[in-house]
Structure 1
Amino acid sequence: MEPNKEKDKQVLISVDLFSDFERMAESYGLTKKGLLEAMILYFKATKADPRNPKTDNPTDAIKALDKRLVSFIRQQENDLLRPINDDIKLLIQLVSQELPKTLRQGQIKTIGGALKPEFQTDRFRTVYEELIKKSN
Protein backbone atom coordinates (compact mmCIF):
# COMPACT_ATOMS: atom_id res chain seq x y z
CA MET A 1 0.00 0.00 0.00
CA GLU A 2 1.34 3.42 -0.95
CA PRO A 3 1.71 5.79 2.07
CA ASN A 4 0.47 8.99 0.28
CA LYS A 5 -2.49 7.49 -1.54
CA GLU A 6 -5.85 8.86 -0.35
CA LYS A 7 -8.62 6.45 0.44
CA ASP A 8 -12.00 7.34 -0.99
CA LYS A 9 -15.02 6.65 1.20
CA GLN A 10 -18.64 6.41 0.20
CA VAL A 11 -21.54 8.25 1.78
CA LEU A 12 -25.09 6.97 1.30
CA ILE A 13 -27.95 9.48 1.10
CA SER A 14 -31.53 9.34 -0.14
CA VAL A 15 -32.22 9.72 -3.86
CA ASP A 16 -34.18 12.97 -3.34
CA LEU A 17 -31.37 14.59 -1.39
CA PHE A 18 -28.74 13.32 -3.80
CA SER A 19 -30.39 15.16 -6.71
CA ASP A 20 -30.48 18.32 -4.58
CA PHE A 21 -26.82 17.70 -3.70
CA GLU A 22 -25.88 17.36 -7.39
CA ARG A 23 -27.73 20.60 -8.28
CA MET A 24 -26.07 22.41 -5.40
CA ALA A 25 -22.61 21.23 -6.43
CA GLU A 26 -23.28 22.36 -9.98
CA SER A 27 -24.58 25.76 -8.86
CA TYR A 28 -21.37 26.36 -6.87
CA GLY A 29 -19.18 25.02 -9.66
CA LEU A 30 -17.84 22.23 -7.47
CA THR A 31 -17.55 18.52 -7.79
CA LYS A 32 -19.69 16.45 -5.44
CA LYS A 33 -16.57 15.63 -3.44
CA GLY A 34 -15.58 19.31 -3.36
CA LEU A 35 -19.03 20.36 -2.17
CA LEU A 36 -19.05 17.76 0.60
CA GLU A 37 -15.60 18.86 1.76
CA ALA A 38 -16.68 22.53 1.65
CA MET A 39 -19.80 21.71 3.69
CA ILE A 40 -17.73 19.94 6.33
CA LEU A 41 -15.31 22.87 6.57
CA TYR A 42 -18.22 25.34 6.71
CA PHE A 43 -19.94 23.55 9.60
CA LYS A 44 -16.62 23.15 11.37
CA ALA A 45 -15.76 26.85 11.01
CA THR A 46 -19.20 28.30 11.80
CA LYS A 47 -20.14 25.71 14.43
CA ALA A 48 -23.61 25.81 12.89
CA ASP A 49 -25.84 22.84 13.66
CA PRO A 50 -26.65 21.07 10.37
CA ARG A 51 -29.57 19.26 12.06
CA ASN A 52 -31.42 22.56 12.39
CA PRO A 53 -31.87 23.96 8.87
CA LYS A 54 -34.17 26.70 10.20
CA THR A 55 -31.35 28.48 12.03
CA ASP A 56 -30.70 32.09 11.20
CA ASN A 57 -28.45 32.88 8.32
CA PRO A 58 -25.22 34.32 9.80
CA THR A 59 -25.31 37.11 7.23
CA ASP A 60 -28.83 38.09 8.32
CA ALA A 61 -27.76 37.99 11.96
CA ILE A 62 -24.82 40.29 11.21
CA LYS A 63 -27.08 42.70 9.30
CA ALA A 64 -29.54 42.77 12.21
CA LEU A 65 -26.71 43.43 14.66
CA ASP A 66 -25.40 46.17 12.39
CA LYS A 67 -28.83 47.83 12.32
CA ARG A 68 -29.07 47.62 16.11
CA LEU A 69 -25.59 49.11 16.50
CA VAL A 70 -26.33 51.99 14.12
CA SER A 71 -29.62 52.61 15.92
CA PHE A 72 -27.82 52.66 19.28
CA ILE A 73 -25.21 55.12 17.98
CA ARG A 74 -27.90 57.41 16.58
CA GLN A 75 -29.76 57.32 19.88
CA GLN A 76 -26.55 58.18 21.75
CA GLU A 77 -25.97 61.01 19.32
CA ASN A 78 -29.43 62.43 20.04
CA ASP A 79 -29.38 61.81 23.79
CA LEU A 80 -25.77 62.67 24.60
CA LEU A 81 -23.58 64.01 21.83
CA ARG A 82 -25.81 66.76 20.48
CA PRO A 83 -26.65 68.16 23.95
CA ILE A 84 -22.95 68.08 24.85
CA ASN A 85 -22.11 69.83 21.58
CA ASP A 86 -24.77 72.47 22.28
CA ASP A 87 -23.43 72.96 25.82
CA ILE A 88 -19.88 73.36 24.54
CA LYS A 89 -21.00 75.93 21.95
CA LEU A 90 -22.85 77.86 24.67
CA LEU A 91 -19.83 77.69 26.98
CA ILE A 92 -17.55 78.93 24.22
CA GLN A 93 -19.95 81.77 23.49
CA LEU A 94 -20.13 82.72 27.18
CA VAL A 95 -16.38 82.49 27.68
CA SER A 96 -15.64 84.43 24.54
CA GLN A 97 -18.19 87.22 24.89
CA GLU A 98 -19.60 87.73 28.36
CA LEU A 99 -17.49 86.03 30.99
CA PRO A 100 -14.39 88.25 30.66
CA LYS A 101 -16.53 91.01 32.20
CA THR A 102 -17.42 89.02 35.32
CA LEU A 103 -14.62 86.52 35.84
CA ARG A 104 -11.66 87.08 38.04
CA GLN A 105 -8.27 87.33 36.42
CA GLY A 106 -7.18 83.87 37.59
CA GLN A 107 -10.27 82.27 36.10
CA ILE A 108 -9.73 83.98 32.75
CA LYS A 109 -6.12 82.76 32.71
CA THR A 110 -7.22 79.20 33.46
CA ILE A 111 -10.01 79.18 30.87
CA GLY A 112 -7.86 80.93 28.26
CA GLY A 113 -5.07 78.43 28.76
CA ALA A 114 -7.49 75.52 28.39
CA LEU A 115 -9.36 76.71 25.30
CA LYS A 116 -7.81 76.20 21.92
CA PRO A 117 -7.15 79.50 20.12
CA GLU A 118 -9.64 78.68 17.36
CA PHE A 119 -12.41 78.67 19.98
CA GLN A 120 -11.47 82.07 21.38
CA THR A 121 -12.88 85.30 20.00
CA ASP A 122 -10.58 88.25 19.41
CA ARG A 123 -12.05 90.06 22.42
CA PHE A 124 -11.44 87.15 24.79
CA ARG A 125 -7.92 86.57 23.40
CA THR A 126 -7.09 90.27 23.93
CA VAL A 127 -8.22 90.17 27.57
CA TYR A 128 -6.38 86.89 28.14
CA GLU A 129 -3.13 88.12 26.58
CA GLU A 130 -3.24 91.36 28.60
CA LEU A 131 -3.58 89.35 31.81
CA ILE A 132 -0.68 87.12 30.84
CA LYS A 133 1.50 90.19 30.10
CA LYS A 134 0.60 91.74 33.48
CA SER A 135 1.50 88.58 35.39
CA ASN A 136 4.94 88.30 33.69
Structure 2
Amino acid sequence: MKNKSIQIQEKHHKELQKLSESLGQSYGGLVEKMILYFKRTGIDPDDLKNESPTYKIQQLDKRLVSFLKVQERAILKPLRQETYEYYENHNKTLKEAKSLINKKIVQADQNSKIRTNNILKEIDKQREALNSICEHLDPANKKGLKTVFQNIFKNAN
Protein backbone atom coordinates (compact mmCIF):
# COMPACT_ATOMS: atom_id res chain seq x y z
CA MET A 1 0.00 0.00 0.00
CA LYS A 2 1.24 3.44 -0.92
CA ASN A 3 1.14 6.08 1.73
CA LYS A 4 -0.30 9.45 0.83
CA SER A 5 -0.07 12.72 2.66
CA ILE A 6 -2.79 15.26 3.16
CA GLN A 7 -2.51 18.79 4.40
CA ILE A 8 -4.75 19.92 7.25
CA GLN A 9 -4.64 22.83 9.63
CA GLU A 10 -2.86 22.44 12.95
CA LYS A 11 -6.04 22.67 15.08
CA HIS A 12 -7.69 19.91 13.01
CA HIS A 13 -4.54 17.80 13.29
CA LYS A 14 -4.77 18.09 17.09
CA GLU A 15 -8.45 16.99 16.96
CA LEU A 16 -7.45 14.05 14.74
CA GLN A 17 -4.74 13.14 17.22
CA LYS A 18 -7.21 13.24 20.16
CA LEU A 19 -9.75 11.16 18.23
CA SER A 20 -7.21 8.55 17.18
CA GLU A 21 -5.95 8.22 20.78
CA SER A 22 -9.47 7.96 22.26
CA LEU A 23 -10.55 5.41 19.66
CA GLY A 24 -7.23 3.57 19.66
CA GLN A 25 -6.68 3.84 15.91
CA SER A 26 -3.99 5.20 13.64
CA TYR A 27 -4.47 8.45 11.74
CA GLY A 28 -4.73 6.62 8.44
CA GLY A 29 -7.20 4.02 9.72
CA LEU A 30 -9.36 6.71 11.29
CA VAL A 31 -9.38 8.84 8.10
CA GLU A 32 -10.24 5.76 5.99
CA LYS A 33 -13.18 4.97 8.31
CA MET A 34 -14.34 8.60 8.16
CA ILE A 35 -14.35 8.47 4.37
CA LEU A 36 -16.33 5.20 4.36
CA TYR A 37 -18.76 6.60 6.92
CA PHE A 38 -19.50 9.70 4.84
CA LYS A 39 -19.84 7.57 1.73
CA ARG A 40 -22.24 5.04 3.29
CA THR A 41 -24.45 7.52 5.15
CA GLY A 42 -24.49 10.16 2.45
CA ILE A 43 -23.84 12.81 5.08
CA ASP A 44 -22.31 15.98 3.73
CA PRO A 45 -19.57 17.20 6.13
CA ASP A 46 -20.06 20.78 4.82
CA ASP A 47 -23.67 20.77 6.00
CA LEU A 48 -23.47 22.28 9.50
CA LYS A 49 -27.16 21.60 10.13
CA ASN A 50 -26.50 17.91 9.76
CA GLU A 51 -27.94 16.14 12.79
CA SER A 52 -26.64 12.96 14.29
CA PRO A 53 -28.13 9.68 13.12
CA THR A 54 -29.56 9.17 16.62
CA TYR A 55 -31.46 12.44 16.33
CA LYS A 56 -32.77 11.44 12.90
CA ILE A 57 -33.89 8.08 14.25
CA GLN A 58 -35.70 9.85 17.09
CA GLN A 59 -37.43 12.10 14.55
CA LEU A 60 -38.40 9.10 12.46
CA ASP A 61 -39.67 7.36 15.59
CA LYS A 62 -41.83 10.38 16.43
CA ARG A 63 -43.23 10.39 12.89
CA LEU A 64 -43.96 6.68 13.10
CA VAL A 65 -45.74 7.05 16.45
CA SER A 66 -47.71 9.98 15.03
CA PHE A 67 -48.66 7.90 11.99
CA LEU A 68 -49.81 5.03 14.22
CA LYS A 69 -51.92 7.39 16.33
CA VAL A 70 -53.60 8.75 13.20
CA GLN A 71 -54.27 5.20 12.00
CA GLU A 72 -55.72 4.31 15.38
CA ARG A 73 -57.94 7.38 15.37
CA ALA A 74 -58.99 7.09 11.72
CA ILE A 75 -59.33 3.31 11.36
CA LEU A 76 -59.09 1.26 14.54
CA LYS A 77 -61.36 3.27 16.85
CA PRO A 78 -64.18 3.57 14.26
CA LEU A 79 -63.82 -0.14 13.50
CA ARG A 80 -64.03 -0.96 17.19
CA GLN A 81 -67.12 1.26 17.51
CA GLU A 82 -68.77 -0.38 14.48
CA THR A 83 -68.05 -3.82 15.94
CA TYR A 84 -69.55 -2.80 19.29
CA GLU A 85 -72.65 -1.36 17.58
CA TYR A 86 -73.04 -4.52 15.48
CA TYR A 87 -72.77 -6.62 18.64
CA GLU A 88 -75.39 -4.49 20.41
CA ASN A 89 -77.76 -4.65 17.41
CA HIS A 90 -77.26 -8.41 17.22
CA ASN A 91 -78.08 -8.81 20.92
CA LYS A 92 -81.14 -6.58 20.57
CA THR A 93 -82.39 -8.57 17.58
CA LEU A 94 -81.75 -11.83 19.42
CA LYS A 95 -83.73 -10.63 22.47
CA GLU A 96 -86.60 -9.48 20.22
CA ALA A 97 -86.64 -12.86 18.47
CA LYS A 98 -86.70 -14.72 21.82
CA SER A 99 -89.53 -12.49 23.04
CA LEU A 100 -91.51 -13.07 19.82
CA ILE A 101 -91.00 -16.84 20.06
CA ASN A 102 -92.16 -16.84 23.69
CA LYS A 103 -95.27 -14.84 22.71
CA LYS A 104 -96.00 -17.29 19.90
CA ILE A 105 -95.64 -20.22 22.30
CA VAL A 106 -98.01 -18.59 24.79
CA GLN A 107 -100.43 -17.79 21.98
CA ALA A 108 -100.22 -21.38 20.70
CA ASP A 109 -100.90 -22.61 24.25
CA GLN A 110 -103.93 -20.33 24.51
CA ASN A 111 -105.18 -21.45 21.08
CA SER A 112 -104.76 -25.10 22.15
CA LYS A 113 -106.73 -24.45 25.33
CA ILE A 114 -109.49 -22.71 23.36
CA ARG A 115 -109.67 -25.61 20.89
CA THR A 116 -109.68 -28.14 23.73
CA ASN A 117 -112.50 -26.26 25.46
CA ASN A 118 -114.47 -26.10 22.21
CA ILE A 119 -114.04 -29.86 21.69
CA LEU A 120 -115.14 -30.53 25.29
CA LYS A 121 -118.22 -28.34 24.81
CA GLU A 122 -119.03 -30.21 21.61
CA ILE A 123 -118.68 -33.56 23.42
CA ASP A 124 -120.98 -32.30 26.18
CA LYS A 125 -123.54 -31.30 23.54
CA GLN A 126 -123.29 -34.72 21.94
CA ARG A 127 -123.67 -36.38 25.35
CA GLU A 128 -126.81 -34.36 26.04
CA ALA A 129 -128.12 -35.19 22.59
CA LEU A 130 -127.51 -38.93 23.16
CA ASN A 131 -129.17 -38.71 26.58
CA SER A 132 -132.17 -37.01 24.97
CA ILE A 133 -132.35 -39.70 22.28
CA CYS A 134 -132.07 -42.43 24.95
CA GLU A 135 -134.87 -40.86 27.00
CA HIS A 136 -137.01 -40.58 23.89
CA LEU A 137 -136.35 -44.21 22.83
CA ASP A 138 -136.44 -45.73 26.34
CA PRO A 139 -138.28 -43.32 28.69
CA ALA A 140 -138.45 -45.72 31.61
CA ASN A 141 -134.93 -47.12 30.96
CA LYS A 142 -136.41 -50.63 30.60
CA LYS A 143 -133.88 -51.68 28.03
CA GLY A 144 -131.03 -50.07 29.99
CA LEU A 145 -130.01 -47.86 27.08
CA LYS A 146 -129.53 -44.79 29.26
CA THR A 147 -127.37 -46.75 31.72
CA VAL A 148 -125.19 -48.12 28.93
CA PHE A 149 -124.45 -44.64 27.58
CA GLN A 150 -123.78 -43.26 31.06
CA ASN A 151 -121.30 -46.07 31.70
CA ILE A 152 -119.55 -45.37 28.39
CA PHE A 153 -119.21 -41.68 29.28
CA LYS A 154 -117.93 -42.50 32.79
CA ASN A 155 -115.18 -44.73 31.36
CA ALA A 156 -114.20 -42.01 28.83
CA ASN A 157 -113.53 -39.46 31.58
TM bucket, shorter chain? 0.5 to 0.7
2:76 matches 1:99: no
3-state DSSP of counterpart to 2:3:
coil
Q: Distance in 1 between matches of 2:84 and 2:51?
A: 46
Q: Distance in 2 between matches of 1:43 and 1:74?
A: 34
Change (3 A) 1:17 1:92: same
Q: 2:69 aligns with which of 57, 70, 74?
A: 74
Question: More relative contact order in 1 or in 2 (CA 8 Å, sep 6+)?
Answer: 1
Q: Distance in 2 between matches of 1:78 and 1:52?
A: 38
Q: Distance in 1 between matches of 2:10 and 2:42?
A: 27
Q: 2:16 aligns with which of 8, 18, 21?
A: 21
Q: 2:32 aligns with which of 8, 26, 37?
A: 37
**Length, aligned pairs only:** 98
TM-score by length of 2: 0.55
Q: Distance in 2 between matches of 1:53 and 1:24?
A: 20
TM-score by length of 1: 0.63
- Structure 2 letter corresponding to 1:99: T
Q: How does 1:34-73 map to 2 (within 5 A)?
A: 34-73=29-68
**Structure 1, unpaired ranges of 5+:** 1-5, 104-122, 124-136
**Higher Rg of the two aligned structures:** 2
Shift of 1:57: 1.8
**Structure 2, unpaired ranges of 5+:** 99-157
Percent of aligned pairs with the same residue?
A: 36
RMSD, matched Cα: 2.1
